[in-house]
Amino acid sequence: MFAQELLGPGAAVDPGSSGPGTVLAPISGTVVSLHPHAFVVQGEGLAVLVHAGIDTVTCKGEGFTTLVTAGEEVSGGDPVLTWMPADVTARGLSTVCPVVVLEGQAEEVGVLTGAGGVVRAGEPLLRVVPGGV
């Protein structure tokens, strides 16, 4: 689903598998969907899905803790959930985290990366420009 951009374009972040992880809201808006391993924030004019790991729905919430509730307003950079990437790796699953602009158009979404491809908390990951980047 993610690789074929069936939900929309985006990027993937690899947090590695050491220590606990905190997943942050990608944009300001309302948490419209919340699962232990994934969430959607609806902002002004767009919605963004963040999925902690690949196939982590199979963990059935084990190792994940939500820090907000569905319907709650968040600001970009607010903590939304915590997880243990090492536990995901131990299950044979990937810790790569897709960040998807739902129903976005590929030509409207550009990936921004820091030095060496490293993205730090609080730094922009994607740029969305209606009509094209």
Residues designated as active site: 51
**In whole angstroms, what is the distance from residue 87 CA to residue 53 CA?**
11
**In whole angstroms, what is the distance from residue 78 CA to residue 74 CA?**
6
Q: Which two tokens stand for residue 25?
A: 């809201």
C-alpha distances (whole Å) from 58 to each of 35, 61, 70, 113, 126 are: 12, 8, 21, 30, 28
Nearest to residue 98, comparing CAs of 46, 42, 37, 17?
A: 37
Q: Which two tokens stand for residue 75?
A: 């600001």
